[in-house]
Amino acid sequence: MNGILIREAQPEDAKDIIQYIERLSAEPNIYIAMSPGEFGKTEQQEAEILRSFHEEQNAIYLIAKKETRLVGMIVCAGGHRKTTSHVVSISMSVDQEFRKQGIGKLLMEHAVQWAKNNPVVTRMELLVFAKNEPAIRLYEKFGFVVEGRHKNAIFRDGVYLDNLSMALLV
Ligand SMILES: CC(C)(COP(=O)(O)OP(=O)(O)OC[C@H]1O[C@@H](n2cnc3c(N)ncnc32)[C@H](O)[C@@H]1OP(=O)(O)O)[C@@H](O)C(=O)NCCC(=O)NCCS
């Protein structure tokens, strides 16, 4: 895709990532389970987390850059026990100004390709607000299927919302 670079996040990206996540969580009515100001990591802590992604075989932290600007990310966090090391939990987002331009698709393509080539990973899973149509459509496009509904899993602005669990076997 034009002008978009997908690459692994480096510890030096910590500051950009914190600013990006704070911006994202402050969006009104965003369908993510993080409230504004809740991310709460220092630059040093975030850099340490990014370093740990490089050390783990079953995990990857990918970011999308347009020139110097961070415009999206997909995080595949691997299970830490022998019984779950084949499973990655996914979270992803694209900067509001850059949505509906194919960046989400590009990030997911990279993540699925990584998982297919990974000697350990065989399952990708995620939770998504049941109301989050754009995200659900994107996941379905890649073959993710809904495995269940977590009723009232989210409580926000005085209202309960459901989550869907979705997964893709690779
Ligand atoms: C979900 C999200 C990552 C999609 O990223 P994106 O870059 O806008 O998605 P793309 O432009 O690559 O679109 C990929 C596909 O997703 C679906 N999609 C994306 N936006 C959509 C919309 N507003 N309505 C319906 N489907 C949509 C479409 O199937 C689309 O494929 P198509 O263009 O061939 O029709 C983005 O909307 C986002 O960051 N949302 C806020 C954070 C979030 O909800 N994250 C997911 C938490 S589980």
Beta bridge partners of 156: 159
pTM above 0.85, yes or no: yes
Max CA pair span of the chain: 44
For residue 111, which of 127, 95, 94, 124 has the smallest C-alpha distance?
Answer: 124
CA distance 56 to 23: 28
Q: Could you tell me the pLDDT band of residue 17, with boundaries at 50, 70 and 90?
A: very high
Domains annotated for the chain, with CATH where assigned, are 4-169 (3.40.630.30)
Tell me whether strands 87-94 and 4-8 are parallel, antiparallel or unpaired.
unpaired
- The mean pLDDT of 43-67, rounded to a whole number, is 98
Mean pLDDT throughout 136-162? 97
Candidate from 137, 140, 156 with most ligand 1 atoms within 8 A of CB, to mutate: 137
Going by alpha carbons, the residue nearest to atom 5 of ligand 1 is 104
User: What is the C-alpha to C-alpha distance for residues 55 and 64, in angstroms, rounded to an integer?
Assistant: 21
